[in-house]
Structure 1
C-alpha cells in the first residue's frame, strides 16, 4: 500500500457546549395566544439552555501531517463562528440571524463560510435527557 496514489478521506469532530437564552413568542399571535401556546417559555425576559455543539470536518488526509485539519485551527473556527457570536447571548436580541425565527427546536447548519440555514429537527434532536434540551449546531467543511 506504500505506493498507492489513492487519496484517503477522514473526519475530525470536536464537541463543545455553550449557554444562551431566547424567548418563544410569535408576532403573529396575541399576547394571550402566545401564553397559551408557549407557556412559561413566552417569558419576556427569556429562558436559557445549554447547547451541545458537534462540529465535523471531512477532508483529504494530508500525506505529510496525517491530519484532515489542524485541531488548533478547528478550535479557532469554532470560537469565531459559534462561540463568540452565541455563547452567553440572548439569541433573539443579540444574534440577527435568529431575530425573526420562533424556535421550539432548531437545527442550524453552518456552511463553509458561516452562513446559516434552518431545518426541521431530526428525531435525535427531539430527544431530551433529564429535562435538559440539547441543540446541535453543525459546521460542515467539504
Structure 2
C-alpha cells in the first residue's frame, strides 16, 4: 500500500523555444510565438507527488518540512522569475518546452527525495497554460 502526497507551487518564468539549426522561418512555422526573439513568459503551476509506504512505525509521520524545503531550494529558487532558456542550469542545452522542463524537474528531485527515509518521488505535473498539463512518472 502507498500513500500519495501532492504539493503544489507556482512560479513565473520566461523562455524561448527556438532551434539554432533551423531558419527563423522554420522556427516560426513550428513553434509560433514561442520562437519570439525577445522570449515570452508564463505563469506555471507545478504539482509534485511524493509516495510514502505506511508502516506501524511511520503511519502518523507528517510530511517532512525537509521535502518542502527541497521544492523551495532546488526548484523554485532556481526557476522563479528566471529565463528558462538562459538562466536555469538543469534545462540548459534543451528546448525549454513544458515536457522537457517537467522531466528535468523530476530528474533533479528524484535522488534528493529518495534519500529521505520512507518517501519517494511518484510524479511531477507541470501546467504552462490553461488546458495544457504535462505529467511525468519517471518510468
* TMscore range, shorter length: 0.5 to 0.7
- 1:4 counterpart residue number: none
Structure of higher CA gyration radius: 1
Report how many residues are paired: 120
CA 1:77–1:97: 2 relative to 1, 3 Å:
closer
TM-score, normalising length: structure 1:
0.67
1:20 correspondence with 2:13: yes
| Whole-angstrom CA distance in 2 between matches of 1:133 and 1:66 | 36
Which residue of 46, 66, 70 maps to 2:60?
A: 66
| Whole-angstrom CA distance in 2 between matches of 1:69 and 1:33 | 47
Which residue of 34, 42, 45 maps to 1:41?
A: 34
> Does the 8 Å CA contact 1:21/1:90 hold for their aligned counterparts?
yes
Please give the secondary structure, in 2, of the residue aligned with 1:17: strand
| Long gaps (5+) in structure 1 | 1-7, 115-123
| Long gaps (5+) in structure 2 | 114-124
Structure (1 or 2) with the greater helix fraction = 2
Please give the secondary structure, in 1, of the residue aligned with 2:44: strand
